[in-house]
Amino acid sequence: MPAVNLPLRDIHLPEAISGWPPAMGWWVLAVLIPLTLGILYWVYKTLTRKTAIKAARKALAAIKQDTDQDKLRKLTEISMLMRRIAVSLAPRTEAAGLTGHAWLNYLDRSLTGRPFSEGVGRYLGEAPYRKEAPAGLDITQLIALCEDWLKVQAKK
């Protein structure tokens, strides 16, 4: 067979596969991963908030039922408990450094009126520094006020 000059071209390789646009699965992952992380963060914050409030309610009930402690010790424990729960529920920069009237005003923000600044809650501002219980202190009213504050925090 004679060699015929055919107009043949050399073999052409296909173009390299491009990385853009990504396949549909990558787009789904790009949406699902941040969404899942956001949902997990929200669930974590919600569960830790509920757990902190539940533990605070139990601690308040224990303080209320403890008949061995005097009023000053109960007042000090309630003050420490309210500080711990406020720091665990709010950002540290918002609640941790507050003292005196600023602390009581922070607690008043959640309730109507000014029960912490002007009511029975005013004793919490100076509780850690007292050597004896104040004369007009009613522990049951203070505990009820703290329970009301916790109820409002649970609804947030």
Q: Mind listing the pLDDT tens digit for each residue in 56-109?
A: 999 999 999 998 888 999 999 999 999 999 999 988 889 888 988 999 999 999
Question: Counting beta carbons within 10 angstroms of the beta carbon of residue 28, is it exposed (0 to 12), middle (13 to 18) or buried (19 or more)?
Answer: exposed
Residues 81 and 88: their CA atoms lie apart, in Å, by 11
pTM: 0.76
- Amino acid making up residue 106: Y
Q: How far is CA 46 from CA 9, 16, 18, 123, in A?
A: 69, 49, 44, 31
Q: φ and ψ at 136, to 5 degrees?
A: -90, 15
Alpha-helical (H) ranges within the chain are 24-65, 71-89, 92-95, 100-108, 139-155
Boundaries of every domain in the chain: 34-155
Tell me the percentage of the chain whose pLDDT exceeds 90: 62
Average pLDDT for 105-127: 91
Angle value at C-alpha 63, between 145 and 116, nearest 5 degrees: 25
pLDDT given at position 126: 86
Which of 119, 39, 96, 67 is closest to 146 using CA atoms?
Answer: 119
User: What confidence tens digit (pLDDT) does each residue in 33-66 have?
Assistant: 999 999 999 999 999 999 999 999 999 999 999 9
Q: N- to C-terminal Cα distance for the chain?
A: 92
